[in-house]
Amino acid sequence: MNKKLAITISCVLLAAAFVLMFAVCALFPRTTESDHSILKEFPELTLESVLSGKFFSEFTAWFTDTVFGRDRCVDINASFRGYFGIMPEEQVFINDGAATGSNGDLIMGDEFEDDWVPEDDEDEEYEDETTPVTTVPSTTPPSTSSGETTVTPPETTVPVTTPPETTMVEITQAPVGEEISDGILIMGTRAMEIYYGSKKNAADYATILNSFAQKVGSGVKVYSMVIPKSCGFYLADSKTSYAKYASRTTRDLTAHKEALSGVTYIPVYEALLPHKDEEIYFRTDHHWTGLGAYYAAEEFARIAGVDFMPLSSYTKNVRPGYVGTMYKYTNHSPTLLNNPEDFVTYVPGTPYTVTKYNTKLKSGKARDSIFYSVPDNKRSSWYSTYLGNDSYSFIIKSGTCQNGRKLLIVKDSYGNALSPYFMNSFEEIYIVDGRYFEIGLVSLVQSKGITDVLFAECTFSAVGAYRNNVKALIS
């Protein structure tokens, strides 16, 4: 074969490869959303970006990141990695972009942002006047695609009075995302964030809550529920060098409790400790479970002196195959992928009405339920079953409770899982996120006649940037 013919054949084969590649792209649509992460965007085409080579490098990243069946390819790759030898009992993962506190003690990493948005909530332009609906649990739950049962309360229309518009102070502040630890440890099949903590910041957060209690006055009961991360329980008994991080949880909780004045401390750690062998924290996600939230809610109700329904009165909904947020933050760990868990929710039997609002408590929209339906292909976002998205605010009205008590929950995402449990405890429940809410909390309490305020957030939030947002909301 002469040289000219060889070159001709090579050019033909190269051209055929390009044609085949573009044909595949045309026949199989590119991935536009991912369950694991936010996808690369198609780069902007400019003369400068072309000449510098930036366009081509970003195009390559986009092309690779949005290949057809991307998430499935990632899962297959992770599964294969699981066969590359015996996995060690302990695996440590370090996130990029960690931030160290000024005292060198608190170390935080990436901010977790759930990119799943409920379809019915993409448009936030709702009518201000709405008629919420009362929900009751279904007696014949339909089947899910996995064969397990799902409980979705049917609609029963019952008119209620929409809260009157009142003057409230609006706050302008930059929201903070959810902070993820710099270090993540997998022990067995459980992924845990390593809590470094800050005794000083825990006490500082108590001072912020003390200030709020003084401003709302003695007629309003204020509570602090700082929720431990899972490492506070599951590292304590480990025979490893990481056991010391468990004691930092109790150290900071004690510092926070001792610095409180005029605020009632909710001992969540002590309430959860007897149940640590139960599924109170996810193994594949950085949150606690609905069961863990139930035990904490039970302890709060006991201290607040309100009625509380036993767990047996709730309908248990089991959704198998959950692989949560830790799968992403451990570089798609095959250990987590190959050991999924159940996502369990407890649906209250008490009738209630719920209205969703924006971060200024405006643009109200009635909902059928506090639970959202997250699709199967958004597996890592199933925790959004609780309240859908952190940037929303909610007002829940009990269909049975008439004790004159109104509860405000100021929370991070951990507080979302508390939402089903107070329908028999308070007449009204206001739920707002301390990172996104734009109304002054003191004016909200005064204008709505709120009697009880519960600050419910995880330890990372209490010692991290979250506490500065709360400080701005009560200034």
- Read off the pLDDT of residues 212-267 as tens digits, 9 standing for 90 and up: 999 999 999 999 999 999 999 998 877 777 787 788 999 999 999 999 999 999 99
pLDDT given at position 169: 60
Could you tell me which residue, 302 or 65, shows the higher pLDDT? 302
Query: Is pLDDT above 50 for 101?
Result: no
Q: Which of 8, 369, 340 is nearest to 156 (CA)?
A: 369
Contact assessment for residue 53 and residue 43, using Cβ atoms and an 8 Å cutoff: no
Q: What is the DSSP string of 283-325?
A: SSSSSBPHHHHHHHHHHHHHHHT-----GGGSEEEEEEEE--T
Using CA atoms of 99, 104, 105, 109 in order, give the dihedral in degrees to the nearest 10: 10
Could you tell me which residue, 152 or 441, shows the higher pLDDT? 441
Q: Which of 264, 261, 329 is nearest to 111 (CA)?
A: 329
Contact assessment for residue 182 and residue 194, using Cβ atoms and an 8 Å cutoff: yes
Q: Which of 60-74, 255-269, 460-474 has the highest mean pLDDT?
A: 255-269
Q: Amino acid identity, residue 466? A: Y
Determine the Cα–Cα distance for residues 430 and 409; give it in Å rounded to an integer: 6
pLDDT given at position 67: 54
Query: Is pLDDT above 50 for 99?
Result: no
Residue 8 CB neighbour total at 10 angstroms: 11
Lowest mean pLDDT among 73-87, 88-102, 170-184: 88-102
Q: Which two tokens stand for residue 356?
A: 């969703």
End-to-end CA distance of the chain: 83
- Read off the pLDDT of residues 358-397 as tens digits, 9 standing for 90 and up: 999 998 999 999 999 999 888 888 999 999 988 899 999 9
Determine the Cα–Cα distance for residues 169 and 265; give it in Å rounded to an integer: 27
Determine the Cα–Cα distance for residues 38 and 391; give it in Å rounded to an integer: 18
Lowest mean pLDDT among 29-33, 159-163, 246-250: 159-163
Query: Is pLDDT above 80 for 310?
Result: yes
- Read off the pLDDT of residues 270-300 as tens digits, 9 standing for 90 and up: 999 999 999 999 999 999 999 999 999 999 9
pLDDT given at position 132: 35
Q: What is the DSSP string of 235-283?
A: TTT-SSGGGHHHHHHHHHHHHHHHH-SSSEE--HHHHHGGGTTSS-B-S
pTM greater than 0.85 (yes/no): no
Q: Which two tokens stand for residue 455?
A: 């600050």
Q: Which of 456, 443, 438 is nearest to 386 (CA)?
A: 456
pLDDT given at position 186: 86
**Maximum Cα–Cα distance for the chain, whole Å?**
96
- Banded pLDDT at 120 (limits 50, 70, 90): low
Contact assessment for residue 232 and residue 249, using Cβ atoms and an 8 Å cutoff: yes
Q: Which two tokens stand for residue 27?
A: 């026949």
